[in-house]
Amino acid sequence: MIMKLVPPTPSLPLILILVIPLLQPLPVPAALFHVGGPMGWTVPPTPDFYQTWASARNYTIGDVLEFSYTGPSSLLNVRKYEYHRCNSSHPIYNFSGGMTRFVLLYSGNCYFISSDFHACKKGQRLAVRVLPRHRRSPPPSSSHRGA
Ligand SMILES: *[C@@H]1O[C@H](CO)[C@@H](O)[C@H](O)[C@H]1NC(C)=O
Ligand SMILES: *[C@@H]1O[C@H](CO)[C@@H](O)[C@H](O)[C@H]1NC(C)=O
Ligand SMILES: *[C@@H]1O[C@H](CO)[C@@H](O)[C@H](O)[C@H]1NC(C)=O
């Protein structure tokens, strides 16, 4: 004989507790960063230009990177391995058209290179570290997190 177990029906207060956090508005509006400032996305004057630019800012999920560029080469979103080698053979995304807005959807590192190998080697590549969204409004008693 097979007995069928009927799961208990959750009570209404429990359902409300589970749903309400999902309805909270996001705490901080997203930021838009124009990559490279007035210079835009191009072969930079120094190889570390974009890393210096990137390290002066904090990036959070939902923020937008705006790339403006000219010429035939495209903008590639790549993996770490390809970023370090200027390897354009298997990008995650391949953008062209001179104006690309990239929404940072995941926390962790995010990498971009020029599809032009020599331009990439001269510094036209960017790595940003994206932080989770709750970072800007930490709870008051967070001193033991990660312990
Ligand atoms: C980035 O975050 C760090 C650590 O929270 C903070 O000290 C720094 O001032 C922030 N930088 C900017 C440009 O917001
Ligand atoms: C990226 O797109 C451009 C233009 O659409 C194309 O010429 C190029 O071959 C593509 N590169 C890669 C690596 O997919
Ligand atoms: C470029 O990366 C791909 C994997 O994405 C790899 O198969 C290929 O061998 C790499 N090419 C070079 C020149 O490193």
Stated pTM of the model: 0.76
Candidates 52, 58, 60: which one to mutate for ligand 1, based on the most atoms within 8 Å of Cβ?
A: 58
Q: What is the pLDDT of residues 88-109, one digit of tens each?
A: 999 999 999 999 999 999 999 9
Strand partners, 75: 95, 114
Token pair 């370090």 is found at 84
What domains appear along the chain, each with residue ranges and CATH number?
Answer: 27-134 (2.60.40.420)
Say how far residue 144 (Cα) sits from the centre of its chain. Answer: 27
**pLDDT value for 26:** 54
Averaged pLDDT, 49-68: 97
Q: What is the pLDDT of residues 11-21, one digit of tens each?
A: 555 555 555 55
**pLDDT value for 71:** 83
Give the three-class secondary structure for 127: strand
Pocket of ligand 3 from Cβ distances under 6 Å: 82, 85, 87, 89-90
Candidates 74, 116, 120: which one to mutate for ligand 2, based on the most atoms within 8 Å of Cβ?
A: 74
Q: What is the pLDDT of residues 113-135, one digit of tens each?
A: 999 999 999 999 999 999 998 64
Q: 93-95 and 99-103: which strand pairing?
A: unpaired
